[in-house]
Structure 1
Amino acid sequence: MIKRLLYLIFLISLWISGIAFETVVVGALLTLFVMYFMIPLVFHYSPVLQRHIVFLNFVNLPKRVDYNTPEREDLPGTRNFYLKTEDNVKVGVWHVLPGSLISSVPKEETADHVAWYEKSLGDERPVILYLHGNTSSRATAHRIELYKVLRKMDYHVVAFDYRGYADSSPVQPNELGVVHDAKVVYRYIRERIGSSPLFVWGHSLGTGVSTHAVGDLCLEGDHPAALVLESPFNNIKDEIKFHPLSSLYETALKVRPKGAPPVKFVGFAASCGYSHKYIYQAPELPDILREFFHEAGETKN
């Protein structure tokens, strides 16, 4: 009797194990089907989903930011303002002063205060237009740390949020829209800098925005002194396939017209730990930038 009972328990356990094994196999197959067939299929045929994944403007900072008080983000000597880029669209902008000008800022928020900031753009110090990557805003920590590096070099920094980001108009971004925003901010700076050198800096998604915008500006005969691409990509396909292999630089070398200014690639060892967005930690970064900007024709610093 006991033997029969044990044998029955054994058979039941085998049956349960078989069900569990089949469940695991079916679950694994369903997961693979969803990940490698359904999601790519939906992504391919859904432009709306593509835009959301590319821009990720719905991913915000874990803390609330008062963009009107950048000094609370450890950026004294910074003006917050808004520019209208087209009907029903405005973008939030920070003008971060060079370190040597912080103590000279007028104390009160008046018309003279605004005029002083705008006039300072033409003081012949270099001006950097910074175009950030996807997610969050101009107030993200690693972006602020980069502004600090640049202001310590005595550069002006103008950083803004594209449409759909942060305190800019809640309009779903697309390529043409964010490029248009960038060109409007660029022209705002250009109209005020006089002979000051103007550089464009794009990071990650911002490298795509900046190259498109600068390409348009060059065709219009209004190019910046130089373009800096931090953590750039060639296109989405190459970004996925060749990310560690600098595919954009290799392409630039192949298609660069004769007589065009040179393309310079600066890499950092993986052991440095700068990853995708911590280049500001590189102690040699200021010297790299000074040399590059000097080669681009900047002789003031």
Structure 2
Amino acid sequence: MGTNRKSYLSVQRCRAMISLRRKRIIRRILFGTFKLLLLAFFIVFVIGPLVFKYSYSLQRSVIFLNYVNFPVNPNYSNPAAYGLPGVLNFDVITDDNIKLGVWYILPEEIIKSSHNDVDINTLATAKQVVLYNHGNSGNRVSPHRVELYQVLRKYFHVVAFDYRSYGDSSDVEPSEEGLVSDAKFMFKWIRNHTSSDIFVWGHSLGTAISTRLVRELEMEKIQATGLILESPFNNMREEIARHPLATAFKNLPWFQFTVVNPMQENGFKFENDKNIQNVNCSILILHAKDDFVVPYQLGYELYKTALSNRQNGQGSVQLESFDSKFSYGHKHICRAPELPRIIENFIVKARDEFGTRNQKDFSMNV
């Protein structure tokens, strides 16, 4: 009996020691995991924002995304390969010696009635031209942009280009001033080739470029007939705070100090809401309610700002919203069946409001 009791106690002690060891191992694993999580939190939510605050190049990269070149290795000289016949690919050199890659896209009606090569001189006969200013990332060949060109060419001669640092344009550092300068050069280039009405269409980041462009042109006594803003934001400060990627960071006490304020200090302002108040032409705003890149609310706030500060003679401001059930998101308002009608009506309204030189014999032919 004594031997059995000793064996029993020995077994119990072994079990107790094993259990104690397991508990120690579990505690070590839990403590190690906690330290790793704490370190990860510190790196992501403390070090990360601090690096962002002091890195101008990182801020610039996040804003412009010019290094995201999709599609890869595009063939700019063969637009027909992307479903766009009747397009001339060429380069222009700006006043500050920047090369810009450009597409001149003939209207649909001219393509149907002629098989001749595209000639820049055709611009001289245009009734209306649209200058398209794209958003960040990609290039003028990006699929959603090609889809939009197909709609625009129903009503316009279309001029689409890549800003500096995008596509096949000069590889120089982008800035808000630089992109506006490129867009201004292209507007004036169009004006030098035609006396027709010129509309400006901007998408996403391109809406801020377009609004500032039209405002600065008016300071030089140069007038755009109409301004179309697709998926716009009111200013970069609000866009940063409400962007989906900022969701995990925006409640941090140091978010404004490390993320928002530095971008403002470095000139990444893109103040649509300020510039739009000094735009003296008809404005059309297009925004999908399921836009998760630029939330619909920002576009609506821009609309309210424009509307509440509008003076007599500045032209109308129109907002067209697209329900979430259609899933147009940030890039595919061009798929809305009603978009051609909206564009057509806006052209008529814009030309009527500003009494363009061709108003008497106006038709929807381009």
Structure 1 position 106, deviation (Å): 2.7
* Equivalent pair of 1:123/1:193 in contact (CA under 8 Å): yes
Where 2:318 maps in the other structure, the secondary structure is coil
Structure 1 match to 2:215? 215
Structure 2 match to 1:237? 237
With over 3 angstroms needed to count, the CA separation of the structure-2 counterparts of 1:88 and 1:8, relative to structure 1, is: farther
Structure 1 match to 2:70? 61
Give percent identity, aligned residues only.
Answer: 43
* Equivalent pair of 1:56/1:135 in contact (CA under 8 Å): yes
Structure 2 match to 1:9? 18
* Equivalent pair of 2:155/2:344 in contact (CA under 8 Å): no
Structure 1 position 179, deviation (Å): 0.6
Task: Write out the 4+ residue segments of structure 1 that deviate beyond 4 Å after TM superposition.
Answer: none
Structure 1 match to 2:138? 136
Of residues 264, 277, 296 in structure 1, which corresponds to 2:318?
A: 264
Where 2:102 maps in the other structure, the secondary structure is strand
Structure 1 match to 2:46? 37
Structure 1 match to 2:108? 99
Where 2:73 maps in the other structure, the secondary structure is coil
Give the Cα–Cα distance (whole angstroms) in 2 for the partners of residues 28 and 251 of structure 1. 44
With over 3 angstroms needed to count, the CA separation of the structure-2 counterparts of 1:255 and 1:29, relative to structure 1, is: farther
With over 3 angstroms needed to count, the CA separation of the structure-2 counterparts of 1:259 and 1:155, relative to structure 1, is: closer
* Equivalent pair of 1:125/1:154 in contact (CA under 8 Å): no
Please tell me whether Structure 1 or Structure 2 has the larger radius of gyration of its CA atoms: 2
Where 1:82 maps in the other structure, the secondary structure is strand
Q: Which runs of 5+ in 2 are unaligned?
A: 1-9, 243-294, 353-361
Aligned: 1:274 with 2:358: no
Structure 1 position 136, deviation (Å): 0.9
With over 3 angstroms needed to count, the CA separation of the structure-2 counterparts of 1:244 and 1:21, relative to structure 1, is: farther
Q: Kindly report which structure 2 residues correspond to 1:112-131, keeping only aligned pairs within 5 A, or say none.
A: 117-131=119-133
* Equivalent pair of 1:132/1:206 in contact (CA under 8 Å): yes
Where 1:134 maps in the other structure, the secondary structure is coil
Aligned: 1:300 with 2:363: yes
Q: Which amino acid aligns with 2:128?
A: P
Structure 1 position 74, deviation (Å): 1.2
Q: Kindly report which structure 2 residues correspond to 1:164-203, keeping only aligned pairs within 5 A, or say none.
A: 164-194=165-195, 196-203=196-203
Give the Cα–Cα distance (whole angstroms) in 1 for the partners of residues 221 and 214 of structure 2. 10
Q: Which runs of 5+ in 1 are unaligned?
A: 108-112
* Equivalent pair of 2:231/2:296 in contact (CA under 8 Å): no
Q: Which amino acid aligns with 2:212?
A: H
TM-score (norm: length of structure 1): 0.90
Q: Which amino acid aligns with 2:192?
A: E
* Equivalent pair of 1:131/1:209 in contact (CA under 8 Å): yes
TM-score (norm: length of structure 2): 0.75
Q: Which amino acid aligns with 1:300?
A: S
Structure 1 match to 2:152? 150
Give the Cα–Cα distance (whole angstroms) in 1 for the partners of residues 351 and 161 of structure 2. 26
Structure 1 position 241, deviation (Å): 4.2
With over 3 angstroms needed to count, the CA separation of the structure-2 counterparts of 1:88 and 1:197, relative to structure 1, is: closer
Structure 1 match to 2:261? none
Structure 1 position 44, deviation (Å): 2.6
Q: Which amino acid aligns with 1:266?
A: E
Give the Cα–Cα distance (whole angstroms) in 1 for the partners of residues 15 and 313 of structure 2. 87
Structure 1 position 62, deviation (Å): 4.4
Aligned: 1:46 with 2:55: yes
With over 3 angstroms needed to count, the CA separation of the structure-2 counterparts of 1:192 and 1:88, relative to structure 1, is: closer
Give the Cα–Cα distance (whole angstroms) in 2 for the partners of residues 69 and 166 of structure 1. 14
